[in-house]
Amino acid sequence: MKKISCLTLGLLAATTLATTAQAEIIKIDGSSTVFPVTEAVAEEFQIATKERVTVGVSGTGGGFKKFCRGETDISNASRPILKAEMDICAKSGVKYFELPVAFDALTVVVNKNNNFVKPLTVDHLKTAWGPESQGKVTSWNQLSSSFPNAPLKLYGPGADSGTFDYFTEAVVGKAKSSRGDYTASEDDHVIVQGLSRDKNGLGYLGYAYYIENKNKLKAVPVVNKQGKVVAPSEANVLNGSYNPLSRPIFIYVNQASLQKPEVKKFVEFYMQKSTPLIKEVKYVPLPAKAYKHNLEVIQKGKLGTVFGGEAQVGLTIEELMKREAKL
C-alpha cells in the first residue's frame, strides 16, 4: 500500500508539473485598437502551433504599466512608449523591441441617424475637445453656425488609451490635453454603444471598430492639412491624404521573453503571416519590407524606441524605418 501511495503521489506530482508546463502561456495586454489585429494573429498561431496566447485589453497606458512590471511578454500600443513609461521600464530592468505592425485611420464618428453633420476641420475638433471647452462648448452650433442648436455629447477613449494620446496630440496640439466632461472608456464597444443611443453624440475610435459597427455609426470626413475633405479609408491612409488622423500601431516585445521559444515563434509568425489578417480586421498592413525590417531589428538587437519618448504625429513608415531605436 505504501508503494502504491508513493507511486500515486509521484504520478500526481508529474501530472501537476506537466499541467504547469502546458499552462505556460504568451501574455499580451494593452491597446483596444491593436487588440483586433493581435487577437486575429493569436488565434491563427494557436491553431498552427497549439501554443496558448492570452490577449487582454487595458489600454495602451494600462498595458505599459503591466509590461514595465514584467507581467506581460508583449504590449499592444496605439502610440509610442512615452518617456515616463521608458523610465519605469528602465528601473524594472525591462528592455524591449518596438515593432510597428499596421496603420490605423483614427475615425471621427456620429450616430447613423445624424442628418446634419458635415466634414469637420481640426479646428472644429479642437473646439469640441480642447480643455478650455469643458462646461462651455455644449451645443453643436458652437462648432459651426451651420449646425443646429442641439446638445453636443462627447464619447471617446479614456486617459489610459493610446488613441486618446494620439488624438489630443494631433487635434489639440498636446498629448493628454482634453476636456474631461465626456463619456470615457478604454473599451471601444462602450463608445459604440453610447453613440448608437445618442443621435447628437460625437466621438472617435479606431477604424476597425467603425467598420464593425457601420450599421450604428456614421464616419465624419475631415479636412486635411492640404485643405481637402477626406474620409477614413485604406486608400487614403496609404496615399497619405488622411492626415493628421492616420497613425502606425505597435507591439512592444520584452527582450527577456524572446528567450522563450514560444514567444519567439509568435513574433516571427506575427511578422510573416499577419498581412491578410490585418486586412481582414480592416486595418492597413505595412509594406512587406517593414515586417522584414522588424525581424532585422530583433536579430541585430536594436532595443528601444525610435520616438525618444515623445508623441509624434504624421510620420510615414519609411521615416520610422530610417530611425535608430534607443532605450
What pLDDT sits at residue 16? Answer: 38
Give the pLDDT of residue 238.
Answer: 84
Report the C-alpha gap between 61 and 162 in whole angstroms.
Answer: 7
Q: Is 20 exposed, middle or buried (0-12, 13-18, 19+ CB in 10 A)?
A: exposed
User: Which residue ranges make up each domain of the chain?
Assistant: 25-102+247-322, 107-238
Burial classification of residue 113, based on how many CB atoms lie within 10 Å of its CB (0-12 exposed, 13-18 middle, 19 or more buried): exposed
State mean pLDDT over 176-195.
94
- What is the per-residue DSSP string for 223-265? E-TTS-EE---HHHHHTT-STTTEEEEEEEEETTGGGSHHHHH
Q: What's the rounded Cα separation, in Å, for the pair 24 and 58?
A: 21
- Structure confidence by residue, pLDDT tens digits, 72-126: 999 999 999 999 999 999 999 999 999 999 999 999 999 999 999 999 999 999 9
| 107-238 shares the fold of 25-102+247-322 | yes
pLDDT of residue 14: 40
In the chain, the amino acid numbered 157 is: P
The pLDDT, as a whole number, for residue 4 is 37
Residue 189: is it exposed, middle or buried by C-beta count within 10 angstroms (0-12/13-18/19+)? middle
Residue 268 pLDDT:
98
End-to-end CA distance of the chain: 61
Mean predicted lDDT score pLDDT of the chain: 90
**pLDDT over 90 (residue 300):** yes
Query: Percentage of residues in the chain with pLDDT exceeding 90?
Result: 80
Work out the average pLDDT over 209-225.
95
Considering the domain 107-238, what is its CATH architecture? 3-Layer(aba) Sandwich (3.40)
How confident is the model at residue 19, as a pLDDT?
A: 39
Fold classified for 25-102+247-322: D-Maltodextrin-Binding Protein; domain 2 (3.40.190)
Q: What pLDDT does residue 186 have?
A: 84
